[in-house]
Structure formats: C-alpha cells, structure tokens
Amino acid sequence: GAGVSQSPSNKVTEKGKDVELRCDPISGHTALYWYRQSLGQGLEFLIYFQGNSAPDKSGLPSDRFSAERTGGSVSTLTIQRTQQEDSAVYLCASSFTGGSQETQYFGPGTRLLVL
C-alpha cells in the first residue's frame, strides 16, 4: 500500500516568510510524528500526535513552529517568520497505534532552504 507522503519535496523561501509542510500518513495509522534532520543537530523529534490526545510538542524549537492534524489524518507543520537556521529536511512518520514498540514509517521528507 501507499507509504507516508510529504509535500512539497523541496521548498525554497526567503527569511521571514511563513511555510507550510504537509504530511499524509499511512491510511489507518493513528500516530504521526514530525522530525527535523539538519547538519548541525542530526535527527530531532519535533512533535507527536496520537489519536485525539493532546499532541506532545516538547520538541518544537520555538513558538514559530506549530503543527496540526486535521481529522486524525493529514498533518501540517507551519513555520512562521522563517530563519536561516530552519533550513533542514523535515521528516514525517506514522505508526499504527503509537507506542514505543511500534515501527515508525517515514516519508521521504521536505527539504527546506531558507535564504
């Protein structure tokens, strides 16, 4: 079946602009994760959604970052007033029910470049 999809695959923006990154999880997966992969920081957890529970936002680096998940499916990660240090690959993952033993399936990522 279809895996996790993300769009756009690449995004170039100017410093100070807002960007929206989209993630379509695997159908039926109730857990959704966002990670950021950057040269200086490696792979970092950003935010986690599980069903109707309040999301775990503990990894968001600043209040310029926000995410929502509509209808328990598609998620959008929004970065406001982008900065050059936001340049990274943003990875989305989903799992069937969440939980540490569940395999997380990753999308191909969105490569963001802030000029």
Partner 1 sequence: AQSVTQPDIHITVSEGASLELRCNYSYGATPYLFWYVQSPGQGLQLLLKYFSGDTLVQGIKGFEAEFKRSQSSFNLRKPSVHWSDAAEYFCAVAPKRNTDKLIFGTGTRLQVFP
Choose the binding region for partner 1 from 17-25, 61-69, 72-80, 99-107 (rule: CB under 8 A): 99-107
Restricted to residues 48-77, the positions that interact with partner 1 (CB under 8 A) are 48, 50, 56, 58-59
E runs forming strands in the chain: 5-7, 10-13, 19-24, 31-38, 42-50, 65-69, 75-79, 88-95, 105-106, 110-114
> Can you name the residues that pair with 32 across neighbouring β-strands?
49, 94
Q: Which of 4, 77, 79, 88 binds partner 1 (CB under 8 A)?
A: 4
The residue ranges that bind partner 1 (CB under 8 A) are 3-4, 31, 33, 35, 42-45, 48, 50, 56, 58-59, 91, 93, 95, 98-109
